[in-house]
Amino acid sequence: MRSIRRPTIGVFDSGVGGLTVLHALLDRIPDADYLYFGDTARLPYGSKSAATVVHYAMGAVRYLQEQGAEFLVIACNTATALALDQIKTSSLVEVIGVVEPGAEAAAKATTQRRVVVIGTEATVASHAYRRALETRNVAVREKACPLLVPLVEEGWTEHSVTEQVARIYLAEAFSEDSRDADVLVLGCTHYPLLKPLLRRIAPAYVTIVDSAESTAHTVARQLEIDPLHPPNDPERRTVPRLKFFATDSADKFKNMGTRFLGHPVEDVVHVDLKE
């Protein structure tokens, strides 16, 4: 990708979970502006058909491009698994999903060539991470952890109930032929909020790979083919411009989004995408 003086990066997710990807992008690429679209009125995507997910995702990314997005990040694991190819085909700008960067980071981190991936039921059922890792000659154990998302959205990231649930999930994930797996991939955008808890209860020899961070590094590599701008460029700013779009209540998005992003979420525009 050729350099954009100060790129406007569009980030799409079915809800607020993708704000963990935006958080990683802000840390890694502060010299950019960001548009975030959360399709909060139509989540969860995991219970929708593949055709419906493609339809919803295409509408959202089209809207982001109309708002000026020059680079697209599909932060939703389900949309990445089911709609990324179609989005890439129709998009006028470069598009990156979260699965390939997470798989690449996991493949580099494992010495045993065995990896555990945890995610939602929809992401696990898609086998997107399995396919991406097996092409890199890595054996994969996938584990759906459906209770973790509602616990995170409840704000129970350090609650004893969440810890007990996570212990059960990880014990099952690292059992039998996956006992020697040495990498745990967080295959859901909600899970980075559980990283401190998961680090405490996962086996000590296991490296945790956060797909949000991996995606941010991949985007940064794409944008750093040429410098974004010289150090003395008048467009250089330390504070990115952030604008948020949500298909459900803007106030609800602000309240929950602040917890996911790590600082106040402001400038939220309600969007009504026509079916």
Q: Is residue 104 part of a domain?
A: yes
27-59: per-residue pLDDT in tens?
A: 999 989 999 999 999 988 888 888 999 999 999
pLDDT at position 212, please?
A: 95
Question: What is the Cα–Cα distance from 45 to 244, expressed in whole angstroms?
Answer: 19
Cα–chain center distance at 186: 9
DSSP lists the bridge partners of residue 95 as 72
Residues 20, 105, single domain; the answer is no
* Containing structural domain, residue 173: 100-211
pTM for the full predicted model = 0.92
Residues above pLDDT 70, as percent of the chain: 93
Q: 3-state class of 242 per DSSP? A: strand
Residue 129 sits in a domain of what CATH number?
3.40.50.1860
Q: How far is CA 236 from the centre of its chain?
A: 27
Domain final residue pick, 165, 188, 211: 211
Confidence of residue 64 (pLDDT cuts 50, 70, 90): very high
How many angstroms from the chain centroid is the CA of residue 22? 8
Q: What are phi and psi of 217, to 5 degrees?
A: -65, -40
| Residue where the block lists tokens 């698994």 | 81
The arithmetic mean of pLDDT across residues 18-22, rounded, is 98
Instruction: Quick: pLDDT tens for 146-185.
Output: 999 999 999 999 999 999 999 999 999 999 888 899 999 9
Please give the Cα distance from 228 to 147 (Å, whole number): 41
User: What are the residue numbers of the active site?
Assistant: 76, 188
DSSP lists the bridge partners of residue 55 as none
Do residue 122 and residue 207 come from a single domain? Answer: yes
Which residues fall within 8 angstroms of residue 148, CB to CB, at 6 or more apart?
Answer: 118, 162, 165, 166, 169, 188, 190, 191, 194
Biggest CA pair distance of the chain? 58
Whether the per-residue pLDDT at 3 is higher than 70: the answer is: no
